[in-house]
Amino acid sequence: MEQQNHSKQLLLQLNQQRAKGYLCDVIIVVENALFRAHKNVLAASSVYFKSLVPHDNLINLDTEMVSPSIFRQVLDFIYTGRLSSSDFVSDHSISSLLIAASYLQLTELAALCRRKLKHNGQTPSSSNKMTPSSSTSPTPNGHTPGPLCLSSTPLHNHQHHNNHSGSKKGSQRPGQEGRLREDLSEKVFISGSRCASLSPSGEGRSNGLGLDLSKRSPSESTATEEVSPSSLLQSSSPHSSSLSPTPTPPTTSSAKPEPPKTSTDLQPRAPRKRPRGDKVTPELEDGEVDGEENGLDQSEGRRRNGNTNYIYRQPQPGFEPGVGDNLYVCIPCGKGFPSSEQLNAHVDTHTHDQLYLKDEEEEEEEEEEECGGYLKDKDPDTCPDDSASKGVKPDAEEPGHLCTVCSKSCKDATSLRQHEKSHWLNRPFPCNICGKLFTQRGTMTRHMRSHLGLKPFACEECGMRFTRQYRLAEHMRVHSGEKPYECQLCGGKFTQQRNLLSHMRMHTSPS
DNA sequence: CTGGGGACGGGGCCC
DNA sequence: AGGGCCCCGTCCCCA
């Protein structure tokens, strides 16, 4: 007995789930687009993906090998076994598909493309659909590189990739760190409100099931620079990710030790069950796509930006940008939609004035011209009225670079300008994922790391990974037993300065 | 239950 | 832009 169309129905369900982001447990980054998918499906379709998905929830593909539009077709093929005729508008498109298929070791798709190319050399295709079974000369193991097959095969790549940075064995090589940076150098954005559906160009356009991240709302476009993963990875340590050293390898956000472990599993002590549990994205719990700390702090994220131009509203309850059923996210209002069409319709309901109190360019100009002009609303947390408490000595240096607010002396105009920004209530750097606003670009990009699950700094002892090198150095004292911070009152020693400070408060606080 | 300690994440800020 | 440091907060364990 056999259920008719069982496999077909199963695949149909999976594809529908993919469209909704349901149970998707892996994100594939292709240039400026994100695609969510199911690890099992990818692993069943591609040797390459099979080697990667057990260890990585975020996979970055080499854009020299595959573009977002091509990968959309690839993903469609994986989930349907078909390529629409629109995917074969030219031999060039087929060639691009073949390159991608070879790169991703999608043998059936590669064979299909080769046959199609060969076929086009004789008679133009007029079929609407192409399936592997429709081919005239099936080659189930069509792994032999075709004319466009590339020397840099994914198999070669992932072998390096899977060597965890913390692993002392393996084939970690010089230059891997640099490779990591290159691989993630493609721009990555989480969808802005208009990006998913309004881009006029094909490449930048939302590609169906992927999130095009390149286009953002007008306010974002000037309030922030494009966030490049390379910038998020610039600080890779020598013992960080040992990603592929090959010239064009795909990479992932994090190279985890084998077997794959969560950070909590790697805790030298009893693992914390669910740190920041309230921030875990429910839909990601299975796959932990973003890592445990990568939940979206919506309460902080959707707040109005001080005195300026960028408004974030509280998102719909239960909605997490970019996950769950609402794949398409309107960043300005936080609403999610299951389709680009619905998002498109929604975006049109926003008027420019609703979203932005004033134009971004004006805001930028005002940043330049009115430094120090919005000091009445200065943030008490950042206001260096506390300069004394922080040991800042006003007028200590050159009198020519004094802060007009706190009289802090800066060594040069650049430092003064940066310092004066700390007085601004304005936070011109919003996170493209959660909308949280930051005063400095570097802080925002560091924050983005947590969303992307990028932890370049790995402990060689336990494999635990960190987003900051400083944290790793701090953590290493756990293994070394070094306790450099000593309480001058009771002689207690601590591995972390902050714990010493906490301890000191115990001494000083009235009891 | 509570307080102290260990460990860690995030943001601000300066260099 | 990135590194380093500080501070705040949190979670967990344990006495």
Q: HEC states along A110-143?
A: HHHHHHHHHHHCCCCCCCCEECHHHCCCCCCCCC
**With pLDDT > 70 as the criterion, what percentage of chain A qualifies?**
37
Q: Is residue A45 part of a domain?
A: no
Q: Is the CB of A84 under 7 A from strand B?
A: no
Answer yes or no: is pLDDT of A444 > 80: yes
A238-264 pLDDT, tens per residue? 333 333 333 333 333 333 333 333 333
DSSP-derived secondary structure for A394-416: TTSS-GGGB-TTT--B-SSHHHH
Q: Is residue A279 part of a domain?
A: no
Token digits for A150? Answer: 């590339």
Answer yes or no: is pLDDT of A83 > 50: yes
Q: Residue A471 CA to C14 C1' — how many Å?
A: 25
Q: Is residue A363 part of a domain?
A: no
Q: If you measure CA to C1', which residue is closest to nucleotide C11?
A: A275
**Residues 6 or more apart from A197 whose CB is under 8 A from it?**
A205, A206, A328, A340, A341, A343, A344, A347
Range of A495's domain? 481-510
Q: List CB-based contacts (under 7 A) with strand C.
A: A 225, 230-232, 234-236, 269-270, 272-278, 390, 418, 440-442, 445, 468-470, 473, 497-498, 501-502
Q: If you measure CA to C1', which residue is closest to nucleotide C12?
A: A272
A204-244 pLDDT, tens per residue? 333 333 333 333 333 333 333 333 333 333 333 333 333 33
Banded model confidence at residue A91, pLDDT cuts 50, 70, 90: confident
Q: Is residue A495 part of a domain?
A: yes
Banded model confidence at residue A452, pLDDT cuts 50, 70, 90: confident
Answer yes or no: is pLDDT of A475 > 60: yes
Answer yes or no: is pLDDT of A501 > 60: yes
Specify which of A74-83, A273-282, A346-355 reaches the highest per-range mean pLDDT: A74-83
Q: Which strand C bases fall within 7 angstroms of a protein CB?
A: 1-14
Q: What is the pLDDT of residue A503?
A: 83
Q: What is the pLDDT of residue A88?
A: 61
Q: Is the CB of A474 under 7 A from strand B?
A: yes
Q: If you measure CA to C1', which residue is closest to nucleotide C1?
A: A442
Answer yes or no: is pLDDT of A12 > 70: yes
Q: What is the pLDDT of residue A445?
A: 82
Q: Is residue A190 part of a domain?
A: no
In the predicted model, what is the mean pLDDT of chain A? Answer: 55
Q: Which 8-state DSSP code applies to residue A465? A: E
Q: Residue A415 CA to B15 C1' — how many Å?
A: 9
Q: What is the pLDDT of residue A338?
A: 55
- Tracing tokens 């198999």 back to the chain, one arrives at A155
Answer yes or no: is pLDDT of A478 > 80: yes
Higher pLDDT, A480 or A267: A480
A160-207 pLDDT, tens per residue? 333 333 333 233 333 333 333 323 223 333 333 323 222 323 333 333
Q: What is the pLDDT of residue A78?
A: 92
Answer yes or no: is pLDDT of A105 > 60: yes
Q: Is residue A420 part of a domain?
A: no
Q: Is residue A3 part of a domain?
A: no
Answer yes or no: is pLDDT of A27 > 50: yes
Q: If you measure CA to C1', which residue is closest to nucleotide B10?
A: A447
Q: Is residue A489 part of a domain?
A: yes
Lowest-confidence region among A25-29, A161-165, A435-439: A161-165
- Amino acid identity of residue A462, one-letter, is C
**Residues 6 or more apart from A44 whose CB is under 8 A from it?**
A50
Q: What is the pLDDT of residue A337?
A: 56
Picking from A254, A222, A220, the residue whose alpha carbon sits closest to that of residue A240 is A254
Q: Residue A220 CA to C9 C1' — how many Å?
A: 29
Token digits for A60? Answer: 């970055």
Higher pLDDT, A325 or A375: A325
Q: What is the pLDDT of residue A335?
A: 58
Which CATH number belongs to the domain containing residue A495 in this structure? 3.30.160
Domain count, chain A: 1
Higher pLDDT, A363 or A61: A61
Mean pLDDT across the stretch A345-364?
Answer: 41
